[in-house]
Amino acid sequence: MPARRKPATPEPRPEAINENLGKRVKKLRNDRGWSLEELATASGVSRSMLSEIEREKANPTLTVTFRIARAFGFTLQELIESAETSASKIQVIRASDRAQVYRSDKQCEIRTLSPLNLEKDVEFYQLTLKPGGELRSQPHFEGTREFLTVQEGGVRIESGTDTDALTKGDSGTYRADVPHAIVNTGDSPAVLFLVVIYR
């Protein structure tokens, strides 16, 4: 979109929507650790069609797009609108956008603060760990590091055999190419901001 605001905003090009939709579907699938086969099973859309969509070679029907959205727990509108706006030079992630929440259970809630449609080397998250909750992760790619800031509560960081404690206002960085964990050590929810940097 042009930088100057105009009275009427031009409609996005259909091919731009398809391109951004493909990137977003791939990112969502990777975030969940799903294979193409697993997404195909969850959505009822063939693996070959999903592959074509992710490679921006297909023009999916509304029915196909709806099935993909439902597999991720989104509405069709959420999936389409995010694809439409991803071409804008300014991308806003609203606090009410549930599409950004890809994990919410008894342990924790993870909310992505990075645009879902982008392939990137840096990812930004908000974590809410419930009392006794923990987030344990297998090693990421070699050289990956995480930066954590505690907004509320207290946590223990584990990175390989190293551990340390953080409380409100503290920040820490650690290797994430080894088994690592963030554990809530308090009696109240811990609210954290996490930056993952892939090298």
Both 79 and 126 in one domain: the answer is no
Both 126 and 191 in one domain: the answer is yes
- Evaluate whether residue 97 is within a structural domain: no
Both 186 and 135 in one domain: the answer is yes
Tell which of 61, 85, 109 closes a domain: 85
Residue 23 maps to which CATH number?
1.10.260.40
* pLDDT tens string 93-106: 777 777 677 788 88
Both 72 and 133 in one domain: the answer is no
- Evaluate whether residue 31 is within a structural domain: yes
* pLDDT tens string 36-77: 999 999 999 999 999 999 888 888 888 899 999 889 888 887
The boundaries of the domain holding residue 29 are 14-85
Residue 144 maps to which CATH number?
2.60.120.10
Query: Residue 132's closest CA among 154, 162, 163, 101?
Result: 154
pLDDT band at 8 (very low <50, low <70, confident <90, very high): very low
Total structural domains within the chain: 2
- Evaluate whether residue 35 is within a structural domain: yes
- Evaluate whether residue 104 is within a structural domain: no
pTM listed for this prediction: 0.56
Tell which of 36, 62, 85 closes a domain: 85
Both 128 and 193 in one domain: the answer is yes
Please provide residue 65's backbone torsions phi and psi, each rounded to the nearest 5 degrees.
-65, -40
- Evaluate whether residue 134 is within a structural domain: yes
* pLDDT tens string 147-173: 999 999 999 999 999 999 999 999 999
What amino acid occupies position 148? L
- Evaluate whether residue 3 is within a structural domain: no
